[in-house]
């Protein structure tokens, strides 16, 4: 017992003092109760010994507690070093984020390294791959003045046998750590004397970007913990360089992107202005030429008028394409949804190409299930017609023989309307997704050009397309319009064997009451076959299989239908039925 203080109080005082809180304490007491032991250990005692006790037991316990105390000190020291390393790496990271100048950042970092790894000199050297250049020192810190007065900072090896043993241990360490080099006594030109050097590679993208080197007096040893710390710092420096390079690349890319955007805006504006100025005189020319239709002209004059009319239509179409492409790139086109007859739109569009296909002796085949199509739908009919026009125009333009097959189908679905501008926002609405497939036996496209087919002014083979009236804008316009509608468009083609294009187009379905009301107000072509026809046997003769399949699809509700590819087969079958 101490004056005015018992053993428990003394424990609290010792444990509350920083200088004495890790000293091992064995509590000696005459109290044998379990509560006294627990209280003593809770107050901070490392051990508890009850009086009377033997000297041997006390000495044994003192030895054990000294060993445990040394272990605790090592653990605390290791934790302290780890915390210091963590703070150093955190400081390096903060310096990365605070500036872009690489040399200034590296200089600050090696100053921080000096506090953790005191050295006479610390430098970072870049690895210059040029044949005529030496490696460049990008950061240097001379710590000889601050460390010259502290001789105990470095552990020197003077005994040769001890030096040999340390070198052996270091060699084992180096064998397991590529990129680390240690020289205990080597002459360095930059300091003009012998030093002990620790060198660690700085790697960037699996290549040696440079080295970080530390100098100490000759025969100074390097601990494993110091080597590991320098390796961690080297990795952090690699991150610095990568981070700065990425920031620079991003800044350069942003400038390039902005320059491209400005150039595109200027280009689109010039195209739009030019196209607008061209349309006015072209419209006047087309109007004047049309006034000659009911005028008496000679055959020669009529031919000249027809040539001028055809040329004017081509130029006007090209100008319209340029204007549309400029508006689409500037995102100035929005879809205008209205109610229209879906089958009538397809029929009118396809009929407009029938004469052109016939003039080239190309089979233009349309295959669709009429019964599955709704009567009226709601969408932008003008833009849908524009996409169909461009695709059919390209197919006929680049197909000199064979066939063009247009297949149309629709998939019905119920979805929640997510367009806030619609009156049906948030409600369940009926929608349809049109799938339009176009196959032709034209010139096709090379696989290398397919990925560029949707870009403006793209033509896969200029030697072929220069003879055609085309700007290369059609597919680009189609892609933009389809994507604005929320669909997608793809192409599969092989040079010399034709192309297959398909796209989807979203439409809104009307209620049955609305469709019936519209049908009663407007005359609509009736695609239903009369009953008198349904009772007869129908004979289909066509040499093209796709054409036969399209007609069979139309007559699928009629039981007595036969299809043949030659007249002979059809006539023989007809005679056979007649005899029966």
Give the domain CATH number at 31.
Answer: 3.40.50.2300
Mind listing the pLDDT tens digit for each residue in 164-192? 555 555 555 555 567 888 888 899 888 88
Chain mean position to CA 423: 36
**Is residue 465 a part of any domain in this protein?**
yes
**Phi and psi angles of residue 496, each rounded to the nearest 5 degrees, phi first:** 85, -5
Token pair listed for 94: 């903060």
Is 399:364 a contact under the CB 8 Å cutoff? no
Is 188:121 a contact under the CB 8 Å cutoff? no
**Is residue 91 a part of any domain in this protein?**
no
Whether residue 24 has pLDDT greater than 70: yes
Quick one: 177 and 288 in the same domain?
no
Is 444:422 a contact under the CB 8 Å cutoff? no
**Is residue 328 a part of any domain in this protein?**
yes
Query: What is residue 271's predicted lDDT score, i.e. its pLDDT?
Result: 67
Instruction: Tell me the mean pLDDT in the region 465-485.
Output: 70
Give the helix/strand (H/E) hosting 404: strand 403-416
Quick one: 404 and 354 in the same domain?
yes
Alpha helix stretches (DSSP H) within 176-223: none
Instruction: Tell me the mean pLDDT in the region 435-444.
Output: 91
| Lowest mean pLDDT segment, chosen from 13-27, 139-153, 412-426, 431-445 | 139-153
Spatial neighbors of 90 by CB under 8 A, at least 6 apart, are: none
* Residue bearing tokens 């060993």: 67
Query: Which contacts (CB < 8 Å, 24+ apart) does range 568-577 have?
Result: 569/541, 570/539, 570/540, 570/541, 573/539, 574/539, 577/537
Cis peptide before 81 (omega within 30 of 0): no
Q: Point out which residues pair with 508 in neighbouring strands.
A: 378, 431
Quick one: 472 and 404 in the same domain?
yes
- Residue numbers of the domain that contains 572: 528-580
**Phi and psi angles of residue 216, each rounded to the nearest 5 degrees, phi first:** -135, 170
Q: Point out which residues pair with 269 in neighbouring strands.
A: none
Whether residue 150 has pLDDT greater than 50: no
3-state DSSP of 55-86: HHHHHHHHHHHHHHHHHHHHHHHHHHHHHHHH
Query: What is residue 463's predicted lDDT score, i.e. its pLDDT?
Result: 46
Three-state DSSP class for residue 453: coil
Q: Above pLDDT 70, what percent of the chain?
A: 79
**Phi and psi angles of residue 368, each rounded to the nearest 5 degrees, phi first:** -155, 155
**Is residue 309 a part of any domain in this protein?**
yes
Q: Per the structure, how many domains does the chain have?
A: 5
Quick one: 123 and 195 in the same domain?
yes
What count of Cα atoms within 13 Å lies in the side-chain half-sphere of residue 35?
0
Sign of CA dihedral 270, 272, 275, 279: negative
Angle CA 222–226–231, to nearest 5: 120
**Is residue 422 a part of any domain in this protein?**
yes
Quick one: 354 and 491 in the same domain?
yes
Mind listing the pLDDT tens digit for each residue in 106-146? 887 888 788 778 888 999 888 876 555 567 888 888 876 55
Quick one: 313 and 349 in the same domain?
no
Would you tell me how many other CB atoms lie within 10 Å of the CB of residue 43?
Answer: 17
Angle CA 147–152–155, to nearest 5: 105
- The band of 462, judged by pLDDT with boundaries at 50, 70 and 90, is very low
Mind listing the pLDDT tens digit for each residue in 336-395? 888 888 888 888 888 888 888 888 888 888 888 777 788 788 899 988 998 998 899 888
CATH number of the domain enclosing 321: 1.10.287.130
β-strand pairing of 498-509 with 428-440: antiparallel
Quick one: 162 and 206 in the same domain?
yes
Quick one: 459 and 384 in the same domain?
yes
Which of the listed residues 477, 507, 537 is the one where a domain comes to its end? 507
Sequence-ordered strand ranges (E) for 153-239: 180-188, 193-204, 207-216
Alpha helix stretches (DSSP H) within 364-472: 381-397, 447-450, 462-465
Is 302:294 a contact under the CB 8 Å cutoff? no
Spatial neighbors of 294 by CB under 8 A, at least 6 apart, are: none
CA 307, CA 292: separation in Å to the nearest integer? 13
Query: What is residue 435's predicted lDDT score, i.e. its pLDDT?
Result: 92
- Is 468 exposed, middle or buried (CB count within 10 Å of its CB: 0-12, 13-18, 19+)? exposed
Is 153:168 a contact under the CB 8 Å cutoff? no
Average pLDDT, the chain: 78
Which of the listed residues 333, 348, 363 is the one where a domain comes to its end? 333
CATH number of the domain enclosing 413: 3.30.565.10
Residue among 385, 482, 400 nearest 440 (CA): 400
Is 346:408 a contact under the CB 8 Å cutoff? yes
- The band of 440, judged by pLDDT with boundaries at 50, 70 and 90, is very high
Mind listing the pLDDT tens digit for each residue in 247-279? 888 888 899 888 887 877 777 677 667 766 777
Query: How far separated are the first and last CA of the chain, in Å rounded?
Result: 133
CA 166, CA 181: separation in Å to the nearest integer? 14
3-state DSSP of 6-38: CHHHHHHHHHHCCCCCCCCCEEEECCCCHHHHH
**Is residue 94 a part of any domain in this protein?**
no
Quick one: 304 and 355 in the same domain?
no
Q: Point out which residues pair with 416 in neighbouring strands.
A: 428
Instruction: Tell me the mean pLDDT in the region 20-45.
Output: 82
CA 450, CA 445: separation in Å to the nearest integer? 7
Quick one: 355 and 503 in the same domain?
yes
Does residue 157 or residue 211 have the better pLDDT? 211
Q: Point out which residues pair with 365 in neighbouring strands.
A: 405
Quick one: 345 and 471 in the same domain?
yes
Angle CA 73–232–86, to nearest 5: 50
Query: What is residue 467's predicted lDDT score, i.e. its pLDDT?
Result: 42
pTM for the structure as a whole: 0.50
Is 177:227 a contact under the CB 8 Å cutoff? yes
Three-state DSSP class for residue 275: helix
Whether residue 516 has pLDDT greater than 80: no
**Is residue 257 a part of any domain in this protein?**
yes
Which of the listed residues 27, 50, 82 is the one where a domain comes to its end? 82
CA 474, CA 454: separation in Å to the nearest integer? 8
**Is residue 369 a part of any domain in this protein?**
yes
Q: How far is residue 71 from each of residues 22, 305, 487, measured CA to CA in Å?
A: 11, 107, 70
Is 455:480 a contact under the CB 8 Å cutoff? no
Is 22:76 a contact under the CB 8 Å cutoff? yes
Quick one: 363 and 415 in the same domain?
yes
């Amino acid at each position: 017992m101490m004056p005015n203080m018992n053993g428990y109080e003394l424990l609290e005082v010792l444990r509350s003092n920083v200088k004495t809180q890790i000293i091992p304490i064995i509590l000696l007491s005459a109290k044998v109760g379990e509560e006294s032991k627990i209280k003593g250990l809770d107050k901070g005692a490392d051990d508890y010994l009850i009086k009377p006790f033997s000297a041997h037991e006390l000495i044994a316990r003192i030895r054990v507690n000294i060993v445990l105390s040394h272990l605790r000190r090592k653990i605390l020291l290791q934790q302290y070093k780890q915390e210091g390393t963590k703070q150093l790496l955190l400081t390096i990271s903060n310096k990365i984020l605070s500036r872009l100048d690489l040399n200034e950042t590296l200089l600050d970092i090696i100053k921080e390294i000096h506090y953790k790894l005191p050295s006479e000199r610390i430098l970072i050297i870049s690895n210059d791959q040029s044949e005529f250049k030496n490696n460049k020192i990008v950061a240097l810190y001379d710590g000889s003045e601050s460390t010259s007065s502290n001789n105990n900072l470095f552990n020197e090896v003077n005994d040769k046998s001890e030096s040999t043993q340390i070198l052996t241990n270091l060699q084992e360490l180096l064998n397991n750590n590529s990129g680390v080099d240690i020289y205990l006594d080597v002459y360095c030109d930059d300091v003009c004397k012998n030093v002990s050097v620790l060198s660690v590679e700085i790697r960037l993208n699996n290549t040696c970007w440079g080295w970080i080197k530390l100098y100490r007096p000759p025969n100074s040893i390097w601990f494993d913990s110091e080597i590991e710390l320098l390796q961690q710092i080297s990795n952090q420096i690699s991150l610095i360089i990568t981070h700065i390079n990425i920031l620079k690349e991003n800044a350069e890319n942003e400038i390039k992107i902005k320059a491209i955007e400005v150039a595109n805006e200027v280009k689109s504006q010039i195209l739009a202005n030019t196209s607008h100025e061209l349309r006015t005189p072209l419209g006047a020319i087309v109007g004047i030429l049309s006034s000659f239709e009911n005028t008496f002209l000679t055959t020669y004059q009529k031919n000249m008028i027809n040539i001028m009319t055809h040329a004017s239509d081509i130029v006007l179409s090209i100008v319209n394409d340029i204007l549309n492409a400029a508006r689409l790139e500037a995102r100035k086109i929005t879809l205008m949804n209205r109610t229209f007859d879906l089958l009538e739109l397809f029929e009118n569009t396809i009929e407009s190409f029938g004469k052109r296909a016939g003039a080239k002796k190309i089979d233009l085949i349309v295959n669709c299930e009429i019964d599955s199509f709704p009567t009226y739908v709601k969408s932008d009919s003008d833009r849908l017609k524009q996409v169909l026009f461009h695709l059919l125009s390209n197919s006929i333009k680049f197909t000199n023989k064979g066939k063009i097959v247009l297949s149309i189908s629709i998939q019905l679905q119920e979805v929640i309307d997510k367009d806030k501008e619609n009156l049906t926002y948030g409600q369940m609405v009926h929608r349809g997704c049109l799938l339009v497939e176009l196959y032709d036996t034209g010139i096709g496209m090379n696989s290398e050009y397919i990925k560029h087919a949707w870009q403006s002014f793209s033509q896969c083979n200029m030697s072929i397309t220069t003879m055609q009236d085309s700007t290369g804008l059609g597919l680009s316009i189609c892609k933009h319009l389809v994507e604005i509608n929320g669909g997608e468009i793809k192409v599969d083609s092989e040079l010399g064997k034709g192309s297959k294009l398909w796209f989807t187009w979203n439409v809104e379905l009307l209620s049955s009451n609305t469709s019936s009301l519209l049908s009663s107000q407007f005359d609509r072509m009736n695609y239903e076959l009369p009953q008198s026809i349904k009772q007869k046997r129908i004979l289909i003769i066509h040499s093209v299989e796709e054409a036969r399949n399209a007609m069979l699809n139309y007559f699928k509700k009629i039981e007595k239908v036969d299809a043949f590819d030659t007249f002979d087969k059809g006539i023989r079958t007809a005679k056979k039925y007649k005899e029966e």
